[in-house]
Amino acid sequence: MSNSAFVSRLPILLRPNPASVVLRPFIPAIAPMGKASSDAVRAQRIVDGVLALSAIEVASELGRVLTDFSGRHRDVALLFRERFRQIDPALCEGRDVTPDQALLIGSYFSHEYSYMAAALFNPSIVTHPDQSGMDPDAIRFLISLRCVGEGHISSLTFRTGVLASCGSVTMDTVNGHASVPRVLGENADGDIEIQCGDGPVSECVIFPVTAAQRNGIEDVRLVRFVEDDGSTCYYGTYTAFSGSEIRSELLQTNDFHRFALETMTGDATRNKGMALFPRRIGGRYAMLGRQDGESIWYLTSDKLRDWSGGVRVIRPRYPWEFVQMGNCGPPMEIDEGWLVLTHGVGPMRNYSIGAALLDKNDPTKLLARTPHPLVRPDGEEREGYVPNVVYSCGAMVCGRTLLLPYALADSLTTFATAPLDRLLASME
């Protein structure tokens, strides 16, 4: 991987893992047109089959299923029970169902999904909401990652770690369990509220739920937002993909256990890559966007979910970004201004990472930018799910050090650090 001389790659690789699975609802396939059977008929046949088994047969089959899957999920019996409660009550109408029968029926309407079998990439990073017990010069962080499984479906997962004062990064151990949140409510616009379990945040996998998200929750750009009164909240802009259309949505959380996922509106939300500033500017919310598909725009709004208009502030200038450019996450406030990491697309659809500096009081003013990439695809690490791509959805400044998590070839994730002073000195 070709880096600028002052960029240091860290020996950390976060790889996809097909053994990481979540339990998902299984719905029997609808029969082809013109056939007598249907999904409802098949579902009824499955339920009838279980209820026709003797108590000994039910206990034997349930015992086998629990033995096979208890080590792969936290409290798998509870998951089967919840799944049973979700199926159509008419399937069991008028019949007594024992607890064991309910669990076994629930297992028939469940399946495992390997949510990151193909890729674990496009990270974003924020300070962790819990900094208790940390050394004064260290910081605990949380990263979001886009993961891709069967059918090229994207979902969202998290990891945590610590950045030490020396610039070294330690990732927390992941125990292997994972689950999808419970849906607490959904409105007519497709806005939902979800609740993760009580385990570590790394066990939470936010899987597409609504019709607009059916094929993916993509490229979350997290930001720790500080209101004018000092209160904080975490937001994440992302792309919802239905399989045919995209739309921008907003994730909101205070603790990374309970989330609201809401639709954004306005003509500036029609493209990918929106990134929220970490505080209001001039009393208004501020956002970077890419509504023309090739340049970086600055937008303001009185409403967090409604974005229109905007001013183009950074456009392709150098050969490594002639095709298009966009942000690599929310702007970071430093003494000198707003530091924005950018991605540029050049020959052979190579994606590289650069940086720009915007005026702190008026972000429509571009102060400087890097004429050459900080990181560009090169060597063996250019190979992967999508060749010749390095990409990030957010970095973090700690003191005068930039911590940059980024993806290699849309396949896996690594980290780099850079002294802020040398990075700024490389701009023109």
Residue 403 to residue 126: CA distance in whole angstroms: 10
Nearest Cα to Cα of residue 258 among 154, 129, 147, 425 = 129
DSSP notation for 64-129: HHHHHHTTTSTTHHHHHHHHHHHS-GGGGTTS---HHHHHHHHHHTEEEEETTSSEEEEEEEEE-S
Question: Is residue 32 pLDDT above 70, yes or no?
Answer: no
Among the residue ranges 138-142, 180-184, 229-233, 268-272, the one predicted with the least confidence is 268-272
Question: Is residue 28 pLDDT above 90, yes or no?
Answer: no
Question: Is residue 37 pLDDT above 60, yes or no?
Answer: no
pLDDT, residue 212, reads 94
pLDDT, residue 271, reads 87
pLDDT, tens only, 217-243: 999 999 999 999 999 999 999 999 999
pLDDT band at 41 (very low <50, low <70, confident <90, very high): confident
pLDDT band at 40 (very low <50, low <70, confident <90, very high): confident
DSSP notation for 364-417: TSEEEE-SS-SEE--GGGG-SSSSSBEE-S--EEETTEEEEEEEETTTEEEEEE
pLDDT, tens only, 286-325: 999 998 999 999 999 999 999 999 999 999 999 999 999 9
Q: What's the whole-number average pLDDT of the chain? A: 94
pLDDT, residue 55, reads 97
pLDDT, residue 323, reads 97
Question: Is residue 31 pLDDT above 50, yes or no?
Answer: no
Question: Is residue 36 pLDDT above 50, yes or no?
Answer: no
pLDDT, residue 193, reads 97
Question: Is residue 38 pLDDT above 80, yes or no?
Answer: no
pLDDT band at 27 (very low <50, low <70, confident <90, very high): confident
312: which strand partners?
297
pLDDT, tens only, 384-414: 999 999 999 999 999 899 999 999 999 999 9
pLDDT band at 1 (very low <50, low <70, confident <90, very high): low
pTM, entire model: 0.93
List the structure tokens of 240. 């919802």
Mean pLDDT over 182-199 rounds to 92
Strands (E), 109-245: 110-114, 119-127, 139-149, 153-163, 169-171, 182-186, 192-195, 216-226, 232-241
Query: Roughly what angle, to the nearest 10 degrees, separates helices 55-69 and 99-108?
Result: 50
Helix (H), strand (E) counts: the chain: 5, 28
Q: Are 145 and 202 in contact (CB under 8 A)?
A: no
pLDDT, residue 381, reads 80
Among the residue ranges 26-30, 62-66, 145-149, 184-188, the one predicted with the least confidence is 26-30
Q: Are 159 and 220 in contact (CB under 8 A)?
A: no
